[in-house]
Amino acid sequence: MAGLILFGPPGAGKGTQAVSLAESFNIPHISTGDLFRAAISGQTPLGLKVQSYLDKGQLVPDQVVIDMVRERLMQSDTSGGWLLDGFPRTIPQAQTLDNLLQEMNQNCDRVINLQVPEQTLITRMLSRGRKDDTEAVIQDRLQVYHRETAPILDFYRDRNYLVDIDGDTTVDVVTERIKTALADLS
């Protein structure tokens, strides 16, 4: 059983690391960004509601994200653990996650904070070429990260399960660093 949160600015490599991490712990990878993009490409009511936020690099309103994550965490495949990627992204989301986990009788074992300098983030996102990876939208997402998301670090640092990982290197080296930081959980 491992409850894990992958945390970090846009472009830090959360999605890339999440894949191998979820596989090695055999837990579902829950990416709010992926869930929103799937809803948008499927043109579901949720997708239509969130599209303009993603296009502009703004946060989807808390209640919309929270309802979606709650529903996802309530599915049976999370009973042995889960890996959250892209959530929580605001203090209210972090507080709601606390309550939700309590309801589910589960807890978060570790928050992995991927640290990458801003210039590397920008270079990575520009080369990725996702629809929201234009220069102007990237700047907006970085601003939103500093204003809304980074303050969560203090919220988790108080609890001693936050681990900082230097993510400014190759994918494989970052994977090894994360595995080392989680060695006591497997």
- Give the C-alpha distances (Å, rounded to integers) separating 92 from 65, 72, 110, 139, 146: 11, 18, 19, 23, 16
Q: Specify whether 141 is catalytic.
A: yes
**Active-site pick, 14, 37, 110, 177:** 14
Q: Specify whether 128 is catalytic.
A: yes
Amino acid at site 110: R
Tokens matching residue 37: 């993009």
C-alpha torsion sign, points 81, 182, 34, 100: positive
Q: Which residues of 28-57 are buried (b: 16+ CB within 10 A; e: fewer)?
A: bbbbbbebbbebbeeeeebbeebbebbeeb
**Active-site pick, 37, 89, 110, 177:** 89
Chain residues that interact with ligand ADP, rule: CB under 6 A: 10-11, 14, 32-33, 36, 53-54, 57-60, 65, 86-87, 89, 93, 141
Least spacing, CB of residue 186 vs ligand ADP, in Å: 25
Cα–Cα distance measured from residue 17 to residue 136, given in angstroms and rounded to the nearest whole number:
26
Q: Nearest residue by C-beta to ligand ADP? A: 33
| For ligand ADP, the closer CB: 2 or 142 | 142
| For ligand ADP, the closer CB: 72 or 179 | 72
Q: Specify whether 14 is catalytic.
A: yes
| For ligand ADP, the closer CB: 3 or 10 | 10
| For ligand ADP, the closer CB: 27 or 50 | 50
Catalytic residues: 14, 89, 128, 130, 141
